[in-house]
Amino acid sequence: MSGFDENPFVDAVDVNPFQDASVTHITSGGIETVEEFNPFSASAMGTHTGITIPISAASSQPAVLQASAVEPTPQATAAAAQANLLRQQEELEKKAAELDRKEQELQNRPGGHIKNNWPPLPKFSPIKPCFYQDFNEDIPEEYQKICKRMYYLWMFHSITLFLNLLACLAYFTADPNAGVDFGLSILWFVLFTPVSFVCWYRPVYKAFRSDSSFSFFFFFFVFFFQVSVYIIQCVGIPKWGNSGWISSITLIRSNMAVAVVMMVVAGCFTVNAVLAIILLKMVHSNYRRTGANFTKAQQEFSSGVLTNQTFQSAAASAASSAAQGAFQGR
């Protein structure tokens, strides 16, 4: 019966897998289980010294994203354009207010019109002033200096032409063959003195007075040729009516006194050329700040021609003549 008391499912050798030598070696170490590990225990805290490790210098800088070159958004572009338009509108309003002030002052004057004051002639003179000129009233303050300098250049230009006439007269007395130079010097003085005033000084005066793009372009066109004439005059080509350097140097051996007089005039022509170039650059720099351009010049020219009474009368006469000729042809 003892055979029936035995358990057939029990091995004869009781083997416990956890009693294996490799397993017991690992589990017998001093490592605590997860449930028993306390990071705040004395044993765990004892392994730390309490010394704070400083952060490296490289990591001390804040992590900031570098701004990349990004194109402005349409909203930013529209805002910039709107700000530019507002600035231009403010400038136009200032100019309109200035024109209104001048017009009001004109209406308050006795007689309600401007009385010409240039050239300053005596009252008993039969010739009356032809132009009105007042820098303090007509020209804005920031442009008064350059406009006065252009006026002084014109005065020096006129004096130089008169001295050229006298030098050519002295040259004619020393050399009878220099009659052509003397005659042309008279023509240059009589012609270029008023023409220069009308063709390049008055346009620049009007340009700064009314901010006229057309007057600026007309001045640049004429004054460029004036600078070229100054250079030709200071060179002094014989038989051209100018006491320049060539004419004066060739006369040194024959007549030293006349040569010295002509050299003085040649120096004046040289100074005219240098001052003209400098003032041309100054006027151009001021012109760029006024906002004038070629498109405005075309508009001013078109509106000025179409509203001109003389032009309208001539156009009407031409149209009526053409109509009559067409009816007569039939």
Q: Tell me, what's the pLDDT at 120?
A: 87
Alpha-helical runs (H) found in the chain: 2-5, 21-27, 42-45, 74-108, 135-138, 141-174, 179-196, 202-210, 213-235, 245-250, 256-290, 294-306, 309-329
pTM of the model: 0.62
Helix (H, G, I), strand (E, B) or coil at 118: strand
DSSP state of 6: S
Question: How many angstroms separate the CA atoms of 163 and 152, rounded?
Answer: 16
Residue 240 lies in a domain: yes
Residue 69 lies in a domain: no
Provide the residue range defining the domain that includes 166: 141-305
Q: Tell me, what's the pLDDT at 111?
A: 47
How many CB atoms sit inside 10 A of residue 133's CB?
Answer: 19
Q: Tell me, what's the pLDDT at 74?
A: 78
Residue 301 lies in a domain: yes
Checking if the pLDDT of 57 tops 50, the result is: no
Q: Find the mean pLDDT for residues 32-52.
A: 52
Q: What is the pLDDT of residues 286-309, one digit of tens each?
A: 887 766 655 665 666 666 544 445
Q: What is the pLDDT of residues 58-99, one digit of tens each?
A: 445 554 545 445 667 777 787 888 888 888 778 777 776 776
Question: Is the distance from CB of 208 to CB of 143 less than 8 angstroms?
Answer: yes
Residue 250 lies in a domain: yes
Residue 81 lies in a domain: no
Residue 105 lies in a domain: no
Residue 39 lies in a domain: no
Checking if the pLDDT of 275 tops 80, the result is: yes
- What is the number of domains present in the chain? 1
Q: Tell me, what's the pLDDT at 94?
A: 76
Question: Is the distance from CB of 181 to CB of 171 less than 8 angstroms?
Answer: yes
Residue 324 lies in a domain: no
Q: What is the pLDDT of residues 156-205, one digit of tens each?
A: 999 999 999 999 999 999 888 889 999 999 999 999 999 999 999 999 99
Q: What is the pLDDT of residues 250-261, one digit of tens each?
A: 999 889 999 999
